[in-house]
Amino acid sequence: MIREQNSLFSHDLSPGEEIRKDPIGALTLFTTSGVGSAFFRSLLKSLGSPGEVLSARRKALESVPGIGASLAEAIASVKGDGQADRIMEDLQKCRAKMVSIWDDEYPANLREIHDPPALLFVCGNLPRNDEVRIAVVGTRTPSIYGVHQAHCVAEELAKSNVCTVSGMARGIDTAAHEGSLQGNGKTYAVFGCGIDIIYPTENKSLASKIEENGALISEFVTGTKPDPGLFPRRNRIISGLSSGVLVIQGEEKSGALITAKLAVEQNREVFSLPGSVDDRRSRGPHLLIREGATLITSAADILAEIGLQSGGEPSAKSITDLPQLSNSEKAVALKLSSEPIHIDKLVQELNLPVASVLSDLLNMEMKGWVKQYPGKLFSFNQGIVDKSWV
């Protein structure tokens, strides 16, 4: 007999308990061709457990809303091929757990979106419901300005106890995660592939840090390769986990703009950082501003919009506690600002040998005074802009 239909959000945890009792059965059903998250939820709500669904007669399966004859046939004909066992082994190898939509730790705001993931595969700890989270997204090929802004905004949000969510892609995503970690905050990376696949591979170290200070999250089973078709689905989770989405650089048809559109559909705030009109990567943020997104120039603007106060700039004590600069380093420091400058320009302005200037810069970077960017660009660390300290 088919159980009486209950609301998905009725807090009836029996399906979650059944999944914990029978994860192999759950994965077998979940990976059946044509099932997906929506039908997985409907089947368990109607029939009660993965085992009952897999052993149900076709007539009972077809009684579940949306389950037609062909899908009922596919479910009724499922035979274990070892795939579910392999997925469980992969999850154990990468220290990941499986969380269902009926579990208490499943983020409440993600449960509210259209087509929420039925299962999440997680390394680390899922966001708490009392956390404030802002998604920071943008192009994979940003300018130095874009990288700098993403890092600074995420760092300042972290100092005000606001977590960040992004996709750990190259460019803006990576800068946002790194900025949040720099600010001793939590950050969450949502994958467009299996949780066991670090993509891009150069972010392996970053992924480990995110796992320790947040979580790596995916709705795709282990072994799922990165594919452009999967990223829009990933993006709905990024926005769904967040109170608002900040777009920093991206063209008009970029993935970042897709995330912003999803945020609007999910009734989330959309923030946009303006850029140079000569840079095509500014077209997306400028389009969003024209369509009503909130223009921001700093983390403080976001905090004001969501009713929080800024954690503030680094204190004088934190600056003076940095290791002292030598006389030659002070000379270099006086040429630096918060805006990145190329090594060649520094050498020209100082009229000193390249090796000497580069040596001082690297020493200052090790002391915490200087930040280096790709392409031999250097600036003061965020907040250290008062030349009276030099």
Per-residue pLDDT of 271-317, as tens digits, reads 999 999 999 999 999 999 999 999 999 999 999 998 886 664 433 33
Most confident of 6-10, 41-45, 136-140, 367-371: 136-140
Distance CA 217, CA 215 (A): 6
DSSP character at residue 106: S
User: Does residue 135 contact residue 263 with C-beta atoms inside 8 Å?
Assistant: yes
Per-residue pLDDT of 66-80, as tens digits, reads 899 999 999 988 877
Q: Domain 1-90 belongs to what architecture?
A: Orthogonal Bundle (1.10)
**pLDDT for the residue numbered 307:** 85
Q: Average pLDDT for residues 185-201, to the nearest whole number?
A: 97
Long-range contacts of 263-268 (CB under 8 A, 24+ apart): 263/135, 263/239, 265/114, 266/112, 266/113, 266/114, 266/236, 266/239, 266/240, 268/239, 268/242, 268/243, 268/244
pLDDT band with cut points at 50, 70 and 90 for residue 13: very low
* Helix spans in the chain (H): 14-21, 23-30, 36-47, 50-55, 58-62, 69-76, 83-93, 108-111, 144-159, 172-182, 204-212, 231-240, 255-265, 283-290, 299-305, 316-320, 327-333, 343-350, 354-367
Per-residue pLDDT of 84-112, as tens digits, reads 999 999 999 999 999 999 999 999 999 99
User: Does residue 288 contact residue 137 with C-beta atoms inside 8 Å?
Assistant: no
Q: Which residue has the higher pLDDT, 385 or 329?
A: 329
**pLDDT for the residue numbered 314:** 39
Domain 122-305 sits in CATH at 3.40.50.450
Query: What is the number of other CB atoms lying within 10 angstroms of the CB of residue 227?
Result: 10
Q: Which of 111-120, 201-210, 338-347 has the lowest mean pLDDT?
A: 338-347
Query: What is the number of other CB atoms lying within 10 angstroms of the CB of residue 267?
Result: 8
User: How are beta strands 119-124 and 214-218 bridged, if at all?
Assistant: antiparallel
Q: Domain 316-389 belongs to what architecture?
A: Orthogonal Bundle (1.10)
Domain ranges of the chain: 1-90, 122-305, 316-389
Distance CA 46, CA 50 (A): 11
**pLDDT higher than threshold 60 for residue 224:** yes
**pLDDT higher than threshold 80 for residue 8:** no
Radius of gyration of the chain (CA): 24
Q: Which of 14-18, 23-27, 155-159 has the lowest mean pLDDT?
A: 14-18
**pLDDT higher than threshold 90 for residue 153:** yes
Q: What share of residues in the chain are helix, strand, coil (percent, to 5)?
A: 45, 15, 40
**pLDDT for the residue numbered 313:** 46
Q: Is it true that 1-90 and 316-389 share their CATH fold?
A: no
Q: What is the pTM of this model?
A: 0.78
